[in-house]
Amino acid sequence: MKELLGRIITGKVTDENEKDYYVQVEGETFRLDKAEIEKPLKEGSDFSGFAYENESHKFQITRNAPKVQVGHYDFGTVVRSQRSLGVFVDVGLPNKDIAVSLDDLPTINSLWPQTGDKLLISLKVDKKNRIWGELADEEIYTALAQPANKQMMNDNVTATVYRLKLAGTKVITDKYQLGFVHPSERDEEPRLGQQIKARVIGVHPDGTLNLSMKPRAYEAIGEDAEMILVALQHADGHQLPFTDKSDPADIKAYFGISKGQFKRALGHLLKERLISENTENIILLPAGEAKS
């Protein structure tokens, strides 16, 4: 039986009732839902379909085969978790979700996939004829990978987490480029299967990406700081005659904000090394010019 489950098989129609046909393969009988069949099947005719054990623990065959099979990988969607067992993944079967064992999941429960997360899996069948989801290994991801190019620098990407390591997080983008997020480039560790938003901060010669989940400096500095940055980008010589000692009325007239807001914004820009200041001016640095 193990060799029949989780894959496409061909058998003979041997019987039927009001709801089902029965298909026999190597002495094993599988139920076939008549709702799938447009034209009646004749007894003795051949039928090919995907064989599995449904949620009622009955052997079933369907012509609506999922892409996820024994030896065939595809992404499925996590639909629920069970702490004592693992997580369950929807692969497209009407009455069967596929379990991924807790043995294959992170030891920290908070890093387990949650409902809606995506896992790249194939199927495996154990000695008790139970079908399990098998997570794709590094070799599979390498085979799927598409090379990135240098033009992707600073691009935004959407990616799915597929491996959690002490050294960082491995992901695959929605365009199948492989990426890596160093712990210093994230505020917290993403969970397995989580879809993340990131930006490209490096492209390796082998076409893999270094990614950051942290916002760009100008996205993190706030509206007031961004306004000052834009003003400097358009100013002659990329400098303006203002400092944290400037008159509040002058600041209000030019920028439309209070001196307190101005000083906080300057603090953010100085911290991000986007500007410098002297006793008379604030000056745009090269990093600030690049934010235009």
| DSSP track, 104-167 | GS-SSGGGS--TT-EEEEEEEE-TT--EEEEE--HHHHHHH-----GGGTT-EEEEEEEEEETT
The pLDDT of residue 220: 61
User: What's the mean pLDDT in 56-63?
Assistant: 94
- Confidence band of 268 (pLDDT split at 50, 70, 90): confident
The pLDDT of residue 287: 80
Distance CA 77, CA 63 (A): 21
Distance CA 76, CA 261 (A): 48
Structural domain boundaries enclosing 43: 7-62
Distance CA 98, CA 66 (A): 11
User: What's the mean pLDDT in 64-70?
Assistant: 96
Lowest mean pLDDT, pick from 5-9, 38-42, 97-101: 38-42
- Among 184, 212, 240, residue at a domain's last position: 212
pLDDT tens for residues 205-253? 999 999 999 877 656 668 888 899 999 999 999 999 999 999 999 999 9
Residue 274 lies in a domain: yes
> In 3-state terms, what secondary structure has residue 180?
strand
Residue 289 pLDDT exceeds 90: no
User: What's the mean pLDDT in 66-85?
Assistant: 97
**Tokens representing residue 289 in the block:** 């010019």
The pLDDT of residue 219: 64
pLDDT tens for residues 109-119? 999 999 999 99
Residue 253 lies in a domain: yes
Residue 68 lies in a domain: no
Over the range 210-243, which residues count as b (16 or more CB within 10 Å of their CB) and which as e? Answer: bbbbbeebbeebeebbbbbbeebeeeeebbbebb
Residue 273 lies in a domain: yes
* DSSP result, 44-84: T-EEEEEEEE-TTS-EEEESS--S-BBTB-EEEEEEEEETT
Distance CA 272, CA 266 (A): 10
Q: What is the CA radius of gyration of the chain?
A: 29
209-212/178-181 β-pairing: parallel
* φ, ψ dihedrals at 85, nearest 5°: -130, -50
The pLDDT of residue 78: 98
- Would you say the C-alpha torsion 105, 106, 108, 112 has a positive or negative sign? negative
User: What's the mean pLDDT in 10-36?
Assistant: 95
Residue 25 lies in a domain: yes
Residue 21 pLDDT exceeds 70: yes
DSSP state of 237: G
Lowest mean pLDDT, pick from 1-5, 32-36, 51-55: 1-5
- Confidence band of 25 (pLDDT split at 50, 70, 90): very high
Residue 69 lies in a domain: no
Domain containing residue 163: CATH number? 2.40.50.140
Q: Are 157 and 199 in contact (CB under 8 A)?
A: yes
The pLDDT of residue 286: 87
Q: Are 20 and 33 in contact (CB under 8 A)?
A: yes
Residue 162 pLDDT exceeds 80: yes
- Confidence band of 155 (pLDDT split at 50, 70, 90): very high
Residue 67 lies in a domain: no
**Tokens representing residue 170 in the block:** 């491995």
Average pLDDT, the chain: 93
Residue 30 lies in a domain: yes
Domain containing residue 27: CATH number? 2.40.50.330
Residue 199 pLDDT exceeds 90: yes
pLDDT tens for residues 6-17? 999 999 999 999
Count of the separate structural domains present in the chain: 4
What string of H, E and C letters represents the secondary structure of 276-287?
A: EECCCCEEECHH
Domain containing residue 265: CATH number? 1.10.10.10
Residue 290 pLDDT exceeds 70: no
Residue 24 pLDDT exceeds 70: yes
Distance CA 205, CA 110 (A): 34
Which residue type occupies 259?
K
Q: Is residue 150 domain-shared with residue 168, that is, in the same domain?
A: yes
Residue 87 pLDDT exceeds 70: yes
Distance CA 27, CA 1 (A): 9
